[in-house]
Amino acid sequence: MTWLVDLDEHAASRAVVRALRAADPRTEVVRAPRAEPSGLVLCSRESAALDELLSATAGAGWHVIVVAVEKGLEPWSVLARGAADVLTWDGDPEAVLARVARAREVDELVRAPQVSATLRGSSPALAAALRDLVTAARFARGPILILGETGTGKELAARVAHRMESGSGPLVVVDCTTVVPSLSGSELFGHEKGAFTGAVNVRIGACAAANGGTLMLDEVGELPLELQSELLRVVQEGTYKRVGSDTWHTTRFRLVCATNRDLAEEVRAGRFRADLYHRIAASTVRMPPLRDRPEDVVPLFTAFVAEAEGRREPVRLTSWVERAVRARAYPGNLRDLRQLAQRVAARHVGPGPVTPGDLPPADRPDRAGPAVSAEPDEDRDLGTLLARVVRVHLAAGTNLRDLRERVAEVAVDAALSEAGGNVRAAAVRLGVTDRALHHRLAEARKRTAVS
């Protein structure tokens, strides 16, 4: 069933409705989008109703195709507000219905267990990435580049892409951080016996092993510059030479690369070949960091704890634990969340919910420091660190006043502990008068006594 919203309901759009229904009788005209996440909106101009419909559907991961019945719609702003596409009506219903059918097919693939049970989560940010992934894997032929911070599921995404290839052969994964230039890329291209010291046997290499299947180059940004031109040849022509041999071999595989580096920046800095970059980035998928999918934190955490405990049903959390899990920073993304769940599972017993004592001391909210301070140096500026924490808290419903208050509390605690409890020294550190700090501490004590 395709839902169809006719926003204008004038003569021209009614004719379009008739044409679409005649071409596909399963097209249902509705006033608001229905449960199926893909559909069509007919309209001819910007209107409050279009705005309303786009904001209601975009956040819910719907796939809305706007059909401009007459001229006068500004497509880029419609896309920016969440529509998947803007088409002009040219009298051919099949052209429009084909788009909806494709959108539906992509949605079905995203919901299929081979995707949804591997890359779990129901946030719009993940759904958008999964749509890009299945579209690239199923409907495009070329290489796929998967971008994202550490622990966002890039390797899982590569495995999903591999499984989606019809009749897929082997999946060969190479971690490019282990490819050493001194062996001239033997990991990738293989070597002949005696090609270098230690080459006691012939090795076929990953390019040959992946023939007929998928070659995944993890951390491709780390691939030594010396080997990039040879990789480019394999990608373009499917030919390579083993180290120590002059014979050309051929191979065919789907290339999937992953990196947490900004490859475009690496190209600008001269550390990555521009021609190779353009070749491997034929389709790009960006895996969202966990802070951009706060809706997924608690459901995935409860599922990971249950998994670690060998239970079928997700565990329950007390509200204290739920708040703490939501509010925590996860610089290592899903990997951090899973590891936290494993630490909690080791302490949680019985059928009851996870309680505050099940959080190991280092993971409790008053010690949230380690997760944040595990960041690489370049990420340690205040804005970046704060943005992560603030986003999670905003998503959890904390308002600006409470956020300010919490930051002030943390700063006061830190300054006092640095100053060994000396209020005057802490006040100097904080740039406030000691009277103001005494007053603040007295107020805090009163609040604690009341609660």
Measured distance CA(190)–CA(240) in Å, rounded: 9
The one segment of 105-113, 116-124, 416-424, 425-433 that binds ligand ATP by CB under 6 A = 116-124
Among 14, 21, 104, 120, binds ligand ATP (CB under 6 A): 120
310 phi-psi bin (left φ>0, alpha ψ -120 to 50, beta other): left
Given 37, 39, 61, 151, the residue binding ligand ATP (CB under 6 A): 151
Q: Is 119 in the site for ligand ATP (CB under 6 A)?
A: yes
- For residue 314, give the DSSP letter: P
CA angle 360–333–273, rounded 5-degree value? 145
- 230: tokens are 């040879």
- Of 113-121, 369-377, 408-416, 428-436: span binding ligand ATP (CB under 6 A): 113-121
36 phi and psi, to 5 degrees?
A: -65, 135
Report the residue from 116, 150, 245, 422 that binds ligand ATP according to the rule CB under 6 A. Answer: 150
Q: Which is nearer to ligand ATP, 86 or 179 (CB)?
A: 179
Q: Give the separation between CA 169 and CA 297, rounded to whole angstroms.
A: 34
- Does 121 contact ligand ATP by CB under 6 A? yes
Among residues 251 and 260, whose Cβ is nearest to ligand ATP? 260
CA dihedral (443, 445, 448, 449) positive or negative: negative
For ligand ATP, the closer of residues 220 and 437 by Cβ is 220
Nearest to 258 by CA among 162, 332, 131, 149: 149
Residue type, 84: A
Tell me the per-residue interface mask from 311 to 350 with ligand ATP, x by CB under 6 A, - otherwise. -----------------------xx--x------------
How near is the Cβ of 190 to ligand ATP at its closest, in Å?
25
Stretch that binds ligand ATP, among 16-24, 40-48, 118-126, 196-204 (CB under 6 A): 118-126
Of the candidates 110, 135, 109, which has an alpha carbon nearest to the alpha carbon of residue 124?
Answer: 110
The site map against ligand ATP for 268-307 (x = CB under 6 A) is ----------------------------------------
Q: Is 129 in the site for ligand ATP (CB under 6 A)?
A: no
234 versus 257: smaller Cβ distance to ligand ATP: 257
136 half-sphere exposure, CB direction, 13 A CA radius: 27
Question: Shortest Cβ distance from residue 231 to ligand ATP (Å)?
Answer: 19
Residue closer to ligand ATP by CB (options 103, 127) is 127
Stretch that binds ligand ATP, among 49-57, 119-127, 346-354, 387-395 (CB under 6 A): 119-127
> Over 377-431, what HEC string results?
HHHCCHHHHHHHHHHHHHHCCCCHHHHHHHHHHHHHHHHHHHCCCCHHHHHHHHC
**Least distance in angstroms from the C-beta of 263 to ligand ATP:** 14
Beta-ladder partners of 29:
4
DSSP β-ladder status, 283-286 and 144-147? parallel
The nearest distance, CB 186 to ligand ATP, in angstroms, is 23
x/- track of binding to ligand ATP for residues 238-267 (CB under 6 A): --------------------x-x-------
DSSP state of 74: -
Nearer to ligand ATP, 87 or 156 (CB): 156
Beta strand spans in 21-129 (E): 27-30, 38-43, 63-68, 85-88
SS3 category, 240:
strand
Q: In angstroms, what is the minimal distance from the CB of 126 to ligand ATP?
A: 6
What is the binding site for ligand ATP (CB under 6 A)?
119-121, 148, 150-156, 258, 260, 334-335, 338
